[in-house]
Amino acid sequence: MAETQDNLLQKIKDQGDLVRKLKAAKESSGKIQEEVSKLLALKAQLGSEDAAPSKFVLKTPKGTRDYNPQQMTIRNNVLQKIITVFKRHGAECIDTPVFELKEVLTGKYGEDSKLIYDLKDQGGEILSLRYDLTVPLARYLAMNKINNLKRYHIAKVYRRDNPAMTRGRYREFYQCDFDIAGQYDLMVPDAECLLVVTEILNSLDIGKYVLKVNHRRLLDGMFETCGVPADKFRSTCSTVDKLDKSPWEEVRTEMINEKGVTPEAADRIGEYVRLNGSSELADKLLQDEKLSKNKSAVEGLEGIKLLLHYCELYGIKDKILFDLSLARGLDYYTGVIYEAVLTQPIKIGNEDQTVGSIAGGGRYDNLVGMFDSKNKQVPCVGVSIGVERIFSVLEAKLAAGDISVRTSDIDVYVASAQKNFLEERMKICAELWNAGIKTEQSYKKNPKMLNQLQHCEENGIPLAVILGESELKRGLVKIRNITTRQEDEIPRDNLVEELKSRIEVLDIKEMNGPIRK
C-alpha cells in the first residue's frame, strides 16, 4: 500500500512538472488543459485512497502552526489586555463565519486576491476563507442594514502568502480589529482609533513606537499633480507602500516599468514621499504651488490638520508622525490611513530584533456600499492590531529565558505518601472542587511521593495537601508549602477554610497575571 502511494506521489510530481513546463513554454491552452486534467485525476486517486495509517509526514499545513499551552497563555494574556482597551472605549464584540461566499471577497483586495484560499466545490455554494475581518464586517453591516456600530472582532484570517514564520508571518493568523461605523463628524472617530492604538501599545509594554499617518485623498491629489493618470492611482499606491521595505530607487523602477508611470511623474512623487513631520508640514504643503490648487490634496491636508489637532487634545500628539510615504496596500481605504511602527529593536536574550509595523488601519467609506443593492454607504474607520508579531516577540523572549509563563492555574495538589489512598484523595478533591478551589491529583492509584512533589514544582503549584494514615486517624491532614517546604498539620474539617485563606495571600502576589519575569 505504501509502495502504491509512493508511486502515485511520484506520478503526481512528474505530471506537475510537465504542466509547469508547458505553461512556461506558453503552449496552447487546450494542450495545457489536457495535462492539467490528467494531474487532477491523479490527485483525485490520492484523495480516495481511504487507507488508514499510511506513511505521511506528520505536520500542520504549510504556514500554520499549533499553539502549545505556553503560547496560548501568552496569546490569551495579550488578547485580554487588548480587549480591556477595546471595551474601555465601548466596543461590542461580533463574530462571522470563517468562510464567505466567494463573491463577497471578489474585487475587494486588488492585487492580493490571488492569496485567497478557496474551498473545493462539493456541489453547494462557492466559498472562500476570509482574508481579513474588514470585508466580513462590511458584509455584516450591509446585510443587517446596520448604520452605527463600534465593534471589535478577534479571529483568524487566511492568506496563501509565502510565510516567514520566524518573523511572525503565517498563512493562518489572528487579526484583532476595532472599527467604528457610522455617519459622524470629520476625524472624531478616526482620532479615537489612534488613541486606542496608543493605549494598547502602552499596555503591552513593547517599547517605543511611532504612529505614522497619511491621507488617501492627499495621495490621490499628489499623484494627480505629479501627472499619474487617475486609473493608475491605486496601483501606484501599492508601489509607494513598499517604501518601508525597499529603497526609493527600487520603488521608482517598479513604478516606471510595471505601473506605467512616466519617469518625470515618478521623480515628482519621489520629492513628496520623502517628507514627514507634524502639522507644520501640513501647513507648508497647503502653500505648495501645485497641491494647493488640487481639491483632493487640500481635502487630505485639512483632514490631517484636524486629526493632529484632536490627537493633541487626546494627549498623544508626540506619538504621531505625518508621513507622505505611508500608502497602505489595500484598495478600499478612502481617507486617513495609519500604521504603528516600533522605533527601537526589541532585546531578546542578548540579541536585538527589529519588529517594524505592529498595527495599521484607516478609513474606508465605500466598502459597505459595495454590498448594498442601492449602494447605500456606511462610512467606517478602524484599526487592526498585529498581534502575531507581538506573540512572536514574546515567544522569543520566553525561549531566551527573559520571561516565564505558568500554563495552569492550579493552587492545590492532593498527594499521598502511602498506598491505597486513591479513594481518600478523590473525596478530598471533590470537596475542594466543590468549594471552587483549583485542585489536581495524580491519576495513578499509587503514585510515588517524589513524583507528586516534582509535578508541583514543575507546574508552579504552590500548595500540596498530603494525606497519611497516622494523621488521618487523628483527624488531621498536612499542608505543604512547595516553595518553602514547610509542612503544617491541620484538622481535616478545617481544610477548605485553611486552604482558602492561604490561597488568598498567594493571589495578591500573582495579580500581575501569568506572564512573569
Binding site listing for L-histidine: 132-134, 159, 175, 179, 328, 332-333
Closest distance to its own copies from the beta carbon of 469 (Å): 18
Laid out side by side, the sheet with 412-416 consists of 439-441, 412-416, 463-467, 476-481, 487-491
Task: Name which of 96 and 276 has its Cβ closer to its own copies.
Answer: 96
β-sheet bridge partners, residue 322 = 213, 277
Closest distance to its own copies from the beta carbon of 231 (Å): 14
Task: Name which of 124 and 247 has its Cβ closer to its own copies.
Answer: 124
β-sheet bridge partners, residue 215 = 336
Distance in angstroms (rounded) separating the CA atoms of residues 423 and 470:
16
Q: Decide: helix, strand or coil at residue 85.
A: helix
Task: Name which of 75 and 328 has its Cβ closer to its own copies.
Answer: 75
Closest distance to its own copies from the beta carbon of 509 (Å): 18
Quickly count: other Cβ atoms within 10 Å of residue 299's Cβ: 16
SS3 of 216-253: the string is: HHHHHHHHHHHCCCHHHHHHHHHHHHHHHCCCHHHHHH
Task: Name which of 12 and 348 has its Cβ closer to its own copies.
Answer: 12
CA 106 to chain centre: 23
Distance in angstroms (rounded) separating the CA atoms of residues 276 and 84:
33
Task: Name which of 126 and 275 has its Cβ closer to its own copies.
Answer: 126
Closest distance to its own copies from the beta carbon of 356 (Å): 25
Task: Name which of 152 and 272 has its Cβ closer to its own copies.
Answer: 152
The sign one gets for the Cα dihedral 33, 37, 42, 43 is: positive
505: part of which helix (H) or strand (E)?
helix 495-509
Task: Name which of 151 and 217 has its Cβ closer to its own copies.
Answer: 151
Laid out side by side, the sheet with 172-181 consists of 92-93, 149-158, 172-181, 380-385, 357-363, 336-342, 209-215, 320-323, 276-277
Q: Are 449 and 467 in contact (CB under 8 A)?
A: no
The binding site consists of: 132-134, 159, 175, 179, 328, 332-333
Closest distance to its own copies from the beta carbon of 187 (Å): 10
Closest distance to its own copies from the beta carbon of 375 (Å): 7
Closest distance to its own copies from the beta carbon of 345 (Å): 28
Judged on CB neighbours under 10 Å (0-12, 13-18, 19+), 1 is exposed
**What are the CA-CA distances from residue 86 to residues 179, 373, 469 (Å)?**
10, 32, 54
Closest distance to its own copies from the beta carbon of 35 (Å): 14
Task: Name which of 32 and 370 has its Cβ closer to its own copies.
Answer: 370
With a CB cutoff of 8 Å and minimum separation 6, the contacts of 181 are: 137, 141, 146, 147, 148, 149, 150, 151, 368, 378, 379, 380
Q: Are 414 and 425 in contact (CB under 8 A)?
A: yes
Closest distance to its own copies from the beta carbon of 158 (Å): 8
Q: Are 353 and 346 in contact (CB under 8 A)?
A: yes
The sign one gets for the Cα dihedral 452, 454, 456, 458 is: negative
Closest distance to its own copies from the beta carbon of 8 (Å): 12
Task: Name which of 35 and 199 has its Cβ closer to its own copies.
Answer: 199
Q: Are 127 and 119 in contact (CB under 8 A)?
A: yes
β-sheet bridge partners, residue 181 = 149, 380
Task: Name which of 69 and 263 has its Cβ closer to its own copies.
Answer: 69
